[in-house]
């Protein structure tokens, strides 16, 4: 219908309702389509749910004795909780009547805060929580995490881990959580670039040293500078420097200098020459990286490295199934050498290699839950030898990486992570170190990160940044109390690697 | 006249008395009703106060005691007097966060008001497609801030679409690290905030422009004033109360902005985008130093309260000047 001026008036040909309906249909289709396709594709290579072995049968028998028919609530990031953990919970429900009814899906970065909120509220409505290993002392002190030792003893629970993962879930001799994910940083370097004869010659001409997989930080930095001379075409390093994450890479350097964040007298230990050298090494990457502000696990850095724009990277092992997948990342798949982070010879002559865990998640049972015993059994069920092997072998990209010795012998895991990738993970886990893990870990870590981040920006000189870390930490130490922290620091030291260098077998 | 006839006036007296009583009763009822209604209208305020007062009292208690959430129940925390207030007021990080918040709120408000007013001015007269433009311009405001944050983070990636488009427009490849360097990161957040909330300003200004009395503008036009003169000497003074209102609302809203900061930079790089809400969040939910957060909140409350007081005074002044203007012009 048109008016005298010829302009269209009244209802349009397509009504608003029809338009909105069509919009909703298109939206739902667009959102669900790829998911359904991906799911179907994933199902094709998904390994079967394992039959319970002797360890799992003991857990089932113990859980049956509880005579419970309960659906637990589980606070976790969906990426962790969906899929394998969900399938196993369904199986456990059939065996014992104990299942997972609701998954409270929140961002991984928010898990500790959610756990602390529950520690204060003591609602008991959240039975299981998936938290960062470093928050164990805080959550134990706050009275949220329940010790699981008695439950573990009752079923003779096998908690054998590579490296010190078991100690990362312990505090003052008690086990407050069970690991589900061996989140650990391994070393990636581009084999095709490293072994290219032209590059070998150019590098040898320039430095008078052969171009080989770096064994020291000096070699590592030199190679990064060499191949990352024009970061717009290729960066020398594919590591993160974002606020709240970037300091992990500093800590690798720091630990590698044989340092520990607290002195014997529970004083901060950053204002010294060795820590300054570690920070200077961390900052040396700046001219050869993209200046982006990547958060942990964001697609930007995956894409950057995965699209062949970084020469080397110290990043988490869970990216192996992506970067070695020719369908997803054809530019880099099959072109990697995997290994451990470079090491450093200490003043006493021994060589030390250290890497860092990327927020290894633990299942923690809520002390205030009316279903604490059922929750403890579910935690053990997920992390038992066979079931944890099933969890760590994800469909295409897994977020649960291997952590038990048995995981590294699993043929399916060898296929998912590649044999050399799996070897690199095995080596790295042996020298895997936690981030600062004492009561108040979030504050200690954030203050360290803040000043390291300021140094990265050039706002303060490295030594000044470290002085400020010490000053800020002293205030927190005074608030938390040295008496408490002394015990925490002991637990922290126990969670540090037991070996200087990893061994292959 | 005891026992005698009541007389002629006597029969009227009860009637009159009744009438007087009736009138008085009616008046009382109205008064009572009014009073009742008045009190009824106050109920939400009373309830709000009942809800708020315990919280405020608890917060005062916490700000005078040192309570760290994971170290034990709040009622066992040590009394520290005004130490925390002193700590906060002398803390470089807190003062910088306040300064950043003010710069952020000030610049984003200024830009939103300038652009929003401009758009409203363009949209005030009917023209073909006006409805479409109106809808188009308000889309940013309808987008959830967290979504806005994540989307802009993707767009502003160093090898992302924004730099790509800029590279097409200027010679050479643009490789600005929008979120990785201090000034670009802060400027990006100001831009995102402006993009998100300019429509809000536009809507309010448009409402103000449409409801503005037409006579002064007509009179100025008849007297031969140019469009520029009409805008600066008639429209702008008439719009002042709306302008002041929108500036206050926008400024306060921007001062409290958190989701964009958290999703885009999390206070970084370094601490260059760490504003009051970000620092408050970190203090209470990362450091679990609830007492210090309480003290910080009171300091901020004082600052914001002062701003609101000045703003209300400004608004009243504007209203009075407008009333005077209309009274003089016989409006």
Specify whether A380 is located in the same domain as A457.
no
Chain B nearest C-alpha distance from A449 (Å): 8
A171 and A202, same domain (yes or no): no
For residue A428, being part of any structural domain is answered with no
pLDDT at B5: 44
Alpha-carbon span A476 to A362, nearest angstrom: 25
Contact assessment for residue B264 and residue B179, using Cβ atoms and an 8 Å cutoff: yes
A14 found inside a domain: no
Phi, then psi, of A402 in degrees rounded to 5? -60, 150
Q: Establish how many alpha carbons lie within 13 A of residue A3's alpha carbon, considering only the half-sphere containing its beta carbon.
A: 6
Count Cβ neighbours within 10 Å for each residue of A354-369 and write b for 16 or more, e otherwise: bbbbbbbbbbbbbbbb
pLDDT band at A165 (very low <50, low <70, confident <90, very high): confident
Per-residue exposure over B169-205, b if at least 16 CB sit within 10 Å of its own CB, e if not:
eeeeeeeebbbbbbebbbebbbbbbbbbbbbbbbbbb
A226 in a domain, yes or no?
Answer: yes
Assess contact for A184 and A429: CB atoms under 8 A: yes
**pLDDT at residue A17, as a whole number:** 56
| Alpha carbon distance A49, A43 (integer Å) | 12
Q: Is the pLDDT of residue A5 over 50?
A: no
Contact B270 A454 (CB under 8 A): yes
Tell me the per-residue pLDDT of B216-236, one tens digit each, with 9 for 90 and over. Answer: 889 999 999 999 999 999 999
> Are residues A285 and A234 part of one domain?
yes
Residues of A in contact with B158 (CB under 8 A): 290-292
Quote the number of domains for chain A: 2
- What tens digit of pLDDT does each residue of A242-300 get? 888 889 999 999 999 999 999 999 999 999 999 999 999 999 999 998 776 555 556 67
* Number of Cβ pairs < 8 A linking chain A and chain B: 97
Statement: residue A195 has pLDDT above 90: yes
State whether A255 and A335 are in the same domain.
Answer: yes
φ, ψ of residue A492 to 5 degrees: the values are -60, -45
Using a CB-CB cut-off of 8 Å, the residues of chain A touching B286 are 113, 442-443, 446
Residue A301 belongs to a domain: yes
CATH superfamily of B82-143+188-328: MetI-like (1.10.3720.10)
Tell me: do A328 and A197 sit in the same domain.
yes
Nearest CA in chain A to B183: A457
Whether A145 and A237 map to the same domain: the answer is no
> Among residues A166, A69, A104, A85, which one has the least CA distance to residue A374?
A69
Q: Distance (Å, rounded) from C-alpha B211 to C-alpha A127?
A: 57
Which residues fall within 8 angstroms of residue A154, CB to CB, at 6 or more apart?
Answer: A62
Nearest to A131 by CA among A363, A378, A392, A443: A363
Average pLDDT over residues A33-47: 45
A226 and A342: one domain? Answer: yes
How far apart are alpha carbons A84 and A30 in whole angstroms?
Answer: 25
Judge: B288–A443 Cβ closer than 8 Å, yes or no: yes
pLDDT for res A399: 82
Return the pLDDT at A7: 46
Q: Do A143 and A247 belong to one domain?
A: no
Same domain? For A364 and A350 the reply is: no
pLDDT digits (tens, 9 = 90+) for A41-69: 444 445 688 999 999 999 999 999 999 99
For residues A189 and A306, membership in a common domain is answered with: yes
Residue numbers in A near B268 (CB within 8 A) = 242-244, 293, 453
Mean pLDDT value across chain A: 88
CA distance A374 to chain B (A): 26
What is the C-alpha separation between A254 and A272, in angstroms, rounded?
11
Separation of alpha carbons B182 and A456, rounded Å: 11
Domain boundaries, chain B: 14-63, 82-143+188-328
Distances (CA, A) of A396 to A43, A318, A369, A415: 10, 10, 35, 11
State pLDDT tens for residues A362-372.
999 999 999 99
Distance CA B261, CA A244 (A): 13
Q: Residue A289: CA atoms inside 13 Å, Cβ hemisphere, count?
A: 22
Instruction: Give the pLDDT mean for B65-93.
Output: 93
Assigned domain for A505 exists: no
CB contact (8 A) between residue A113 and residue B286: yes
> CB-CB: which of B270, B285, B289 is closest to A457?
B270
Q: Distance between CA A313 and CA A187 in Å, rounded?
A: 6
Instruction: Give the mean model confidence (pLDDT) for residues B23-27.
Output: 69
Q: Is A36 inside a domain boundary? A: no
Residues A407 and A445 in one domain: no
Q: Are residues A372 and A348 in the same domain?
A: no
CA dist., res. B170 & res. B3, Å (int)? 113
Look up the CATH number of the domain holding residue A143.
3.40.190.10
- Model pLDDT, residue A43: 40
pLDDT at res. B214: 87
B60, B90, B112 from B53: Cα distances, Å: 10, 28, 35
Nearest to A292 among B173, B177, B270 (CB): B177
Counts for chain A of helices (H) and strands (E), in that order? 22, 14
- B/e letters for A278-312, b = 16+ CB within 10 Å, e = fewer, are bbebbbbbeebbbbbbbbbbbebbbebbbebbbbb
Residue-wise pLDDT for A129-148, tens only, equals 999 999 999 999 999 999 99
Q: Is residue A325 part of a domain?
A: yes
Q: What is the dihedral of CA A328, A329, A333, A339, to 10 degrees?
A: -110
d(C-alpha A221, C-alpha A249), whole Å: 13
Q: Do residues A439 and A137 touch, judged by C-beta distance below 8 A? A: yes
Could you list the residue range(s) of the whole structural domain that residue A229 is in? 185-357+434-494
Chain B CB within 8 Å of residue A251 CB: no
Q: Please tell me the pTM assigned to this model.
A: 0.84
| Chain B residue with minimum CA distance to A451 | B270
Q: How far is the CA of A256 from the CAs of A214, A433, A470, in angstroms?
A: 15, 10, 19
Question: How far apart are the CA of B301 and the nearest CA of chain A, in angstroms?
Answer: 24
Tell me whether residue A37 is in a domain: no
* DSSP annotation of B73: -
pLDDT grade for B15, boundaries at 50, 70 and 90: low
Angle, CA A394 vertex, CA A392 and CA A399 arms, to 5°: 70
Tell me which residue in B173, B269, B270 faces A232 most closely, judged by beta carbons.
Answer: B173
């Amino acid at each position: 219908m048109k008016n005298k001026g010829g302009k269209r008036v009244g209802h349009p040909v397509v009504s608003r309702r029809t338009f909105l309906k069509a919009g909703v249909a298109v939206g739902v289709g667009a959102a669900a389509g790829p998911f359904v396709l991906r799911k179907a594709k994933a199902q094709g290579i998904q390994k079967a749910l394992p039959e319970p072995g002797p360890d799992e049968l003991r857990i089932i028998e113990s859980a049956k004795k509880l005579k419970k028919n309960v659906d637990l609530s589980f606070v976790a990031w969906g990426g962790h909780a969906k899929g394998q953990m969900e399938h196993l919970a369904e199986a456990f429900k059939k065996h014992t009547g104990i299942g997972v009814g609701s998954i409270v899906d929140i961002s991984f970065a928010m898990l500790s805060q959610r756990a602390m909120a529950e520690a204060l509220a003591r609602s008991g409505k959240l039975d299981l929580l998936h938290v960062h290993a470093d928050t164990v002392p805080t959550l134990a002190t706050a009275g949220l995490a329940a010790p699981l030792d008695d439950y573990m003893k009752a079923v003779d629970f096998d908690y054998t881990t590579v490296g010190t993962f078991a100690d990362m879930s312990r505090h003052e001799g008690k086990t407050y959580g069970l690991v589900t994910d061996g989140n650990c940083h391994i070393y990636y370097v581009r084999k095709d670039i490293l072994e290219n004869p032209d590059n070998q010659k150019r590098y040898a001409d320039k430095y008078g040293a052969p171009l080989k997989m770096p064994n020291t930080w000096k070699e590592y930095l030199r190679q990064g500078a060499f191949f990352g001379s024009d970061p717009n075409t290729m960066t020398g390093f594919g590591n993160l420097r974002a606020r709240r994450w970037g300091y992990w890479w500093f800590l690798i350097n720091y630990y590698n200098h044989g340092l520990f964040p607290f002195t014997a007298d529970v004083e901060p230990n950053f204002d010294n020459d060795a820590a300054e050298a570690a920070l200077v090494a961390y900052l040396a990457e700046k001219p050869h990286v993209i200046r982006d502000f990547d958060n942990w696990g964001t697609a930007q850095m995956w894409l950057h490295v995965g699209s062949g724009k970084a020469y080397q990277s110290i990043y988490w092992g869970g990216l192996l199934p992506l970067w070695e997948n020719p369908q997803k990342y054809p530019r880099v798949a099959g072109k990697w050498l995997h290994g451990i982070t470079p090491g450093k010879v200490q003043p006493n002559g021994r060589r030390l290699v250290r890497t860092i865990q990327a927020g290894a998640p633990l299942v923690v049972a809520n002390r205030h839950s009316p279903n604490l015993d059922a929750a403890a059994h579910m935690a053990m069920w997920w992390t038992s030898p066979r079931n944890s092997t099933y969890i760590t072998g994800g469909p295409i990209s897994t977020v649960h990486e291997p952590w038990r010795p048995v995981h590294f012998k699993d043929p399916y895991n060898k296929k998912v992570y590649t044999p050399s990738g799996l070897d690199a993970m095995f080596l790295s886990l042996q020298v895997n170190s936690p981030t600062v893990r004492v009561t108040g870990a979030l504050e200690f870590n954030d203050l360290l990160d803040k000043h390291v981040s300021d140094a990265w920006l050039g706002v303060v000189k490295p030594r000044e940044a470290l002085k400020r870390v010490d000053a800020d930490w002293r205030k927190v130490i005074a608030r938390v109390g040295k008496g408490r922290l002394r015990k925490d620091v002991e637990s922290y030291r126990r969670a540090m690697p037991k070996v200087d260098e990893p061994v292959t077998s | 006249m005891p026992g005698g006839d009541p007389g002629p006036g006597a029969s009227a007296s009860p009637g009159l008395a009744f009438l007087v009583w009736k009138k008085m009763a009616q008046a009382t009822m109205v008064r009572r009703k009014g009073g009742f209604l008045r009190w009824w209208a106050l109920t939400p305020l009373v309830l709000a106060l009942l809800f708020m007062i315990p919280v405020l009292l608890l917060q005062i208690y916490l700000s005078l005691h040192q309570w760290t959430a994971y170290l034990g129940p709040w009622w066992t925390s040590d009394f520290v007097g005004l130490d925390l207030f002193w700590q906060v007021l002398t803390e470089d990080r807190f003062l910088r966060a306040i300064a950043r918040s003010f710069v952020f709120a000030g610049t984003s408000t200024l830009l939103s008001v300038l652009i929003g007013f401009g758009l409203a001015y363009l949209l005030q007269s009917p023209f073909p497609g006006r409805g479409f433009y109106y809808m188009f311009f308000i889309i940013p405001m309808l987008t959830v801030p967290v979504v806005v944050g994540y989307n802009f983070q993707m767009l502003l990636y160093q090898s992302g679409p924004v730099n790509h488009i800029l590279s097409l427009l200027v010679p050479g490849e643009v490789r600005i690290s929008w979120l990785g360097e201090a000034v670009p990161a802060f400027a990006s957040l100001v831009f995102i905030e402006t993009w998100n909330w300019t429509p809000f300003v536009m809507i309010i200004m448009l409402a103000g422009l449409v409801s503005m009395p037409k006579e002064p503008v007509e009179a100025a036009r008849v007297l031969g004033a140019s469009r520029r003169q009409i805008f600066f000497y008639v429209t702008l003074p008439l719009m002042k109360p709306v302008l002041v209102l929108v500036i206050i609302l926008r400024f306060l809203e921007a001062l409290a902005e958190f989701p964009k900061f958290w999703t885009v930079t999390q206070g970084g790089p370094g601490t260059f985008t760490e504003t009051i809400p970000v620092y408050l969040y970190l203090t209470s939910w990362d450091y679990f130093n609830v007492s210090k957060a309480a003290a910080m909140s009171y300091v901020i409350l004082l600052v914001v309260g002062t701003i609101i007081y000045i703003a209300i005074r400004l608004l009243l002044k504007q209203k009075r000047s407008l009333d005077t203007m209309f009274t003089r012009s016989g409006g």
